[in-house]
Structure formats: C-alpha cells, structure tokens
A and B are shown apart, each in its own frame.
Chain A
Amino acid sequence: MDGALQRRLIETVATRIIAAADELTRLDQAIGDGDHGFNMKRGMEAVLADIEKLAGQSLPEALKTAGMALVMKVGGASGPLYGTLFMTLGKELPERPGRADAVRAFGAAIEAVKARGKSERGQKTMLDVLIPVQESLGRGEAGAIRRIAAEAAEATIPMLATRGRASFLGERSVGHMDPGARSSHIMIDAVAELLGGGA
C-alpha cells in the first residue's frame, strides 16, 4: 500500500470516529457506562498524533503501532478489544495483501477479539458487525461491504446483551444499537469507501 493511501485511511478512520464521539457516547449511555465515544476519541487522537510515523511504516507495522496506541490510550474494554483487532491484523497481513490475505487476517483478528472479550457472535458486541463483514469479504462480495456493515450494526438493536457492561441491563439492553457495533461499522465504512469496497 502506498504511503499516501495509508495516511488517508488512518486519518479518515480516526477523524470519523472522533466526529462520531457524541453519537457513540449517547449509545453507550443507553446500555453501558457512557464512555465509549470519549474513550475512542482519545484513542484516535493518539493515533492521529502519530500520523507521520504511521504513514511511513509498512502496513503491518502501522497496524501494530496504531493497535498499541489504542491499547494504551483508550481505557475501558474497547482499548484492548480494538487494539487486539489491529495488532492481530498487523501480525497476520503481508506488506501487500490481496483479498485472500485480507480474509484470512481478518478471520484471525476476529478470533483474537473473541478470546480477548470472551465473547461470541450474537451477544450484541462489535463481533456482530466484524463477523458478517469478514464472511461477505470471504464470499467475494467486496462491493456489498458498506451495506452489510450498516445492516449488521442495525441488527444489534433487538439483540439481548450477554457480554460487557450492557449485560447488567438484561432485557433493558434490547432496543438500542450496540456502541461497539456502531464504532466498528464506522471504521469499516470508512475503509471500504476509500478502497472502493474492495481490499
């Protein structure tokens, strides 16, 4: 990946999450502890502060660096979860990935997030967006990714949370979109837009 595109990808993902901080906080206030927007904003600001370094690194190295920044700066469970996602992608992706590389690395990253959060699909978490997107990528539906990510985030609304802070609310978690699913949707949408839906 050329440095200019890599820089744009990182900047776009980070700025969109920062711009959505209030929305993510509102979603998290409904079913969690209300810190997701603020935490992700702080993490992405740390990523942006490193942009010169990140733009100059290889894609795998940049993903590991960004993941570590999220681990250290986000606070809350989303830091280790997103940090694990990005660091695993960095570990698994070659410098110039094709679609098959992306599918495999994304699958490995999802497994790592599952282990970190001790969670599975269907528990109203970021996995409920990441997994359908990875599956559609695996089926070669790169052009459908933005739609699939949006639908997957919407599909968390009627789900009952059984992991994370939202699980304390039990039935009251039903009827609200999961904030982690929404932040995953925002990131995937930004990447798919810049890469033309493909990988």
Chain B
Amino acid sequence: MSAAGNVGIVIVSHSPKVAEGAADMVRQMVGDSVPLAWTGGDPSGGLGTSVELILGAIDRAWSEAGVVILVDLGGAETNSEMAVEMLADERRGRVLVCNAPVVEGSVIAAAEASGGSPLAAVKRAAEELNGG
C-alpha cells in the first residue's frame, strides 16, 4: 500500500533531538510506507513545544486516512490538542493525540499504520503499550 493511503504519524517532543531520533527509528522500521513528520522545541528553539510547529508537522504528515500524534510531556499534549482544535473542520476529526510513550508509541503506531490499519486501530496499538 502506498504511503498516501496510510495513517500519518506526527512525533512531538520537547527536544528536537528526541523527536528526530524517534522519527529515525520509525523510518528504519517502516521505511517510507507511512507519512511521518516530527517537531520539537519551542518557538525560539529552546526545549518545549509550539502549536505553530505542530500544525506544520500535521500538514507534512497529512493523510486522508488521518494522523496520530505521539507526545512526550504535558505541554506537548496540551499544545497538540490545541493544534488539533485549530485545524480546519474537514481535518479536525481525523487527527488523534495518543496516550502512549513517545518513542515506543511512534514505532508501534507506524508499524500498525504501515499495514493499512484505520486511524482508531493505529491509536489503539500505540495505547496498548500502557496496558490499555
């Protein structure tokens, strides 16, 4: 299946190095079979997250099948939820923030997505890491 038909993955960490490193691991696992984007750091390049940069990452990883977002700490979650709410109506319902560890969750979600699973199944696969 082509990348365009699979659920996209967005990785959001306070640290650009963590986000990029997690993305590298995903690429090694699943190659180019899923749309993937990462963002890390606040608007001035320090540790943190940015709604504006998250919106950009969602756009880069956009898939008609939807996008899951993997986050690290609280601010990344809050900023990701804010970004989702700011999306256009036709996209908003197709972007989900996962409650899962950022590195493992990204890899598992991508593996699930690469098999063509629908959005809810991709999210569930990542969240099963929490014992859910």
Within 8 A of B (CB), among A74-112: 74-77, 79-81, 83-84
On chain A, the residues within 8 Å of B50 by CB distance are 72, 75
Binds A, one of B29-37, B39-47, B102-110, B111-119: B39-47
The residue of chain A having its C-beta at the shortest distance from the C-beta of B55 within the complex is: A72
Q: A35-B48, A39-B48 known; A72 and B43 CB under 8 Å?
A: yes
Within 8 A of A (CB), among B17-69: 42-44, 46-52
Q: A42-B44, A72-B51 known; A116 and B82 CB under 8 Å?
A: yes
Interface string of A115-151 (1 = CB under 8 A from B): 0110000000000000000000000000000000000
Contact in complex: B46, A79 (CB < 8 Å)? no
Contact in complex: A73, B82 (CB < 8 Å)? no
On chain B, the residues within 8 Å of A42 by CB distance are 42-44
**Interface size class for chain B?**
10 to 19
CB contact between B78 and one of A38, A39, A72, A117 (< 8 Å): that residue: A117
Interface string of B56-95 (1 = CB under 8 A from A): 0000000000000000011100110110001000000000
Q: Number of residue pairs across A and B with beta carbons under 8 Å? A: 58
CB contact between A80 and one of B44, B47, B48, B82 (< 8 Å): that residue: B82
Contact in complex: B73, A80 (CB < 8 Å)? no
Q: Does A164 touch B at the CB level, under 8 Å?
A: yes
On chain B, the residues within 8 Å of A165 by CB distance are 73-75
Q: A77-B78, A80-B82, A165-B74 known; A39 and B42 CB under 8 Å?
A: yes
CB distance from B8 to the nearest CB of A (A): 22
Contact in complex: B82, A76 (CB < 8 Å)? no
CB contact between A75 and one of B42, B73, B74, B86 (< 8 Å): that residue: B42
CB distance from A77 to the nearest CB of B (A): 4
On chain A, the residues within 8 Å of B46 by CB distance are 35, 38, 75
Q: A42-B43, A72-B43 known; A79 and B74 CB under 8 Å?
A: no
Q: Does A177 touch B at the CB level, under 8 Å?
A: no
CB distance from A168 to the nearest CB of B (A): 9
CB contact between A72 and one of B44, B52, B74, B75 (< 8 Å): that residue: B52
The residue of chain A having its C-beta at the shortest distance from the C-beta of B42 within the complex is: A75
CB distance from B12 to the nearest CB of A (A): 12
Bound: A38/B43 CA distance, A: 11
Contact in complex: A71, B78 (CB < 8 Å)? no
Given contacts A77-B74, A83-B82, A165-B74, 5 further A-B contacts (CB under 8 A): A38-B46, A71-B82, A71-B86, A72-B51, A116-B78
Q: What are 18 pairs between A and B in contact, CB < 8 Å?
A: A33-B47, A33-B73, A35-B46, A35-B48, A42-B43, A71-B51, A72-B52, A75-B49, A75-B79, A76-B49, A79-B79, A79-B82, A80-B79, A80-B81, A80-B82, A116-B78, A164-B74, A165-B74
